[in-house]
Structure 1
Amino acid sequence: MNQEEDEARQSSLPGCYRHPEVRTGISCARCERPICPQCMVSASVGFQCPECVRSGSGTGHAPAANRPRTVAGGVLATGDPQLITKVLIGINLAVFLVQQVVGDRFTDALYLLASWPVQGFDGVQGVAEGQWYRLVTSMFLHGSYIHIGFNMLSLWWLGGPLEAALGRARYLALYFVSGLAGGALTYLLAAQNQPSLGASGAIFGLFGAMAVLMRRMKYDMRPVIGLLVVNLIFTFSWSGIAWQAHVGGLVAGVLVGIGMMHAPAERRGPAQWGSCAAVLAVSLALVLIRTAQLT
């Protein structure tokens, strides 16, 4: 019975575009044509077919359409493949250093806060009072060495593969959209005087997108799912963690990841950036709803 099921599954797979008699579950990372082991050429992410490898191996004078592209359709960047990840880590570390040097007055001015509930006291204001920048600045603040250590290790582990798979622009969009979505959900659901800070919303967005990427490439998903489960257990078992940011970032990362990885090739750009715009629109709606409640 198991053998029959396996034969049925194999027969349902497409044939290699060069060897139709060979069934395969692997597709070219650029053109998405099915390719068999004989035709696979290892690339930075996944495999490419011989034609795509030849079209991207010229002297640099080929049309833009023939330039090597990532699995998500982004132009394959030259130079450091982890440049944006390193820049993000550097910014987070630099901001944390300023926090240690300047102290609470710097952190208090930038962390995420819905509204200060004491009437007539102008010392602290939040997003509801017009300080919308806190939704962005709070993404680069951290509360302790352990806090920033875990987040930056996760960013380093997840960021490199995703930056290579998405391309720099799409990867950066995923990071910020996930972080903003996490901040928006925190603003909506957390107590109005509860401060929130950290890159966790963006990091959980990377987790979500990584799961989508691994499924798209037919890789073993158990490592990333196991790590995600462990992080979710910590999220809901430890006090003082803004679970709203984690959940909001994770959902945003999955949605943007689906839009990035599964966009039809013929309208890939509009579908990918449209998914980012849709998540941002929902995040903005959450912010407006909460602001209306508090003002």
Structure 2
Amino acid sequence: MDHPPNQSPINPLPPVVVALFLVIVGIEAMFALGARGMIGGPEAIGWRIMALQKYAFSGDIFDWMLVNNMWPLEHVIRFVTYMFVHGNFTHAAFAGVMLIALGKMVGEVFSAVSTLAVFLVSGITGAVVFGLVLNNPAPLFGAFPGVYGLIGAFTFLLWTRLGQMGANQARAFSMIGFLIGIQLLFGLLFGGNQDWIADVAGFATGFALSFFLVPGGWRRIVERLRRD
């Protein structure tokens, strides 16, 4: 296939996806360099633990805010900041790779603002559901609820395309079914936390938001409401 002289044969990543990825990688690099004593001095060895204590989402703190109807900013920001702190390099690497892959596919259709909204709102919703459904003192951290929101948006795009082709739209949900199945299997075999609840909530949020955020989506919804 011939390409125009000034056009790259590889589609560039959406800038908003690159920005999110760089934030995750930058924070993880800081933790790694600090743990090796290359920056920050002796106290840098504990940067990851301190960041998890300060920025991870805590169900106990969420319960306290609900009961007392007090919402200090230092704790409210946890609904977002938890997505940028990971337990180790492997955790961050998997989240980053999935963010790049899913963000590219979604960002090529959605606007930058919509792509960012899917990631952030899905992550926030995942944390809220995690805090409401579970009585779990373990913190929630990592980008996966937001990434699963992008999976939800990608599933919406695939679901819409299959519908236009007259194919079985249930096939669009094979990815999320496989991923959740793997998570549950690993949880049964090796034990683990219940983060999958936040992931599923993130996926559902990303899928639902796509009805409004996909180009022309809001206009189609308004037109359908007027017809009804």
Do they superpose with TM above 0.5? yes
Q: Kindly provide the amino acid, as one letter, of the partner of residue 236 in structure 1.
A: L
Query: How far did residue 135 of structure 1 move?
Result: 1.0
Cα contact 2:55–2:82 (8 A) shared by 1: yes
Provide structure 2 residue ranges, at least 5 long, that are not aligned to the other structure. Answer: 1-10, 35-46, 66-71
The answer to whether residue 187 in structure 2 is matched with residue 228 in structure 1 is no
Quote the Cα distance in structure 1 between the aligned partners of 2:29 and 2:52: 11
How many residues align? The count is: 181
The answer to whether residue 91 in structure 2 is matched with residue 174 in structure 1 is no
Quote the Cα distance in structure 2 between the aligned partners of 1:210 and 1:217: 11
* C-alpha distance 228-103 of structure 1, shift in aligned 2 (>3 A): same
Q: Which residue in the other structure is 2:30 paired with?
A: 98
1:151-200 superposed Cα distances (whole Å, 9 cap, x missing partner): 11111111112111011111111111111111111111222422110111
* C-alpha distance 212-247 of structure 1, shift in aligned 2 (>3 A): same
* C-alpha distance 222-264 of structure 1, shift in aligned 2 (>3 A): closer
Query: 1:260 is matched with which residue: 213, 218, 225?
Result: 213
Cα contact 1:99–1:107 (8 A) shared by 2: no
Q: Which has the larger radius of gyration?
A: 1
Q: Which residue in the other structure is 1:184 paired with?
A: 128
Cα contact 1:235–1:241 (8 A) shared by 2: no
Q: Kindly provide the amino acid, as one letter, of the partner of residue 112 in structure 1.
A: F
Cα contact 2:159–2:170 (8 A) shared by 1: no
Quote the Cα distance in structure 2 between the aligned partners of 1:266 and 1:257: 12
Query: How far did residue 231 of structure 1 move?
Result: 1.2
The answer to whether residue 157 in structure 2 is matched with residue 213 in structure 1 is yes
Give the root-mean-square deviation of aligned CA atoms. Answer: 2.6
Q: Which residue in the other structure is 2:204 paired with?
A: 251
Quote the Cα distance in structure 2 between the aligned partners of 1:264 and 1:139: 28
Provide the secondary structure at the position in 1 that maps to 2:159: helix
Provide the secondary structure at the position in 1 that maps to 2:76: coil
Query: 2:83 is matched with which residue: 134, 139, 143?
Result: 139
Query: How far did residue 223 of structure 1 move?
Result: 8.1
Quote the Cα distance in structure 1 between the aligned partners of 2:29 and 2:141: 15
Bigger RCO of structures 1 and 2 (CA < 8 A, at least 6 apart):
2
Q: Kindly provide the amino acid, as one letter, of the partner of residue 139 in structure 1.
A: M
Query: 1:108 is matched with which residue: 38, 44, 53?
Result: 53
Cα contact 1:178–1:249 (8 A) shared by 2: yes
* C-alpha distance 174-193 of structure 1, shift in aligned 2 (>3 A): same
Cα contact 2:125–2:201 (8 A) shared by 1: yes
Normalising to structure 1: TM-score of the pair? 0.55
Quote the Cα distance in structure 1 between the aligned partners of 2:14 and 2:221: 27
* C-alpha distance 192-82 of structure 1, shift in aligned 2 (>3 A): same
* C-alpha distance 264-180 of structure 1, shift in aligned 2 (>3 A): closer
Quote the Cα distance in structure 1 between the aligned partners of 2:17 and 2:95: 12
Provide structure 1 residue ranges, at least 5 long, that are not aligned to the other structure. Answer: 1-78, 116-125, 272-295
Q: Which residue in the other structure is 2:99 paired with?
A: 155
Cα contact 2:159–2:172 (8 A) shared by 1: no
Cα contact 1:235–1:246 (8 A) shared by 2: no
Query: How far did residue 267 of structure 1 move?
Result: 7.2
Quote the Cα distance in structure 2 between the aligned partners of 1:98 and 1:224: 38
Query: How far did residue 247 of structure 1 move?
Result: 1.3
- Aligned-pair identity in percent equals 18
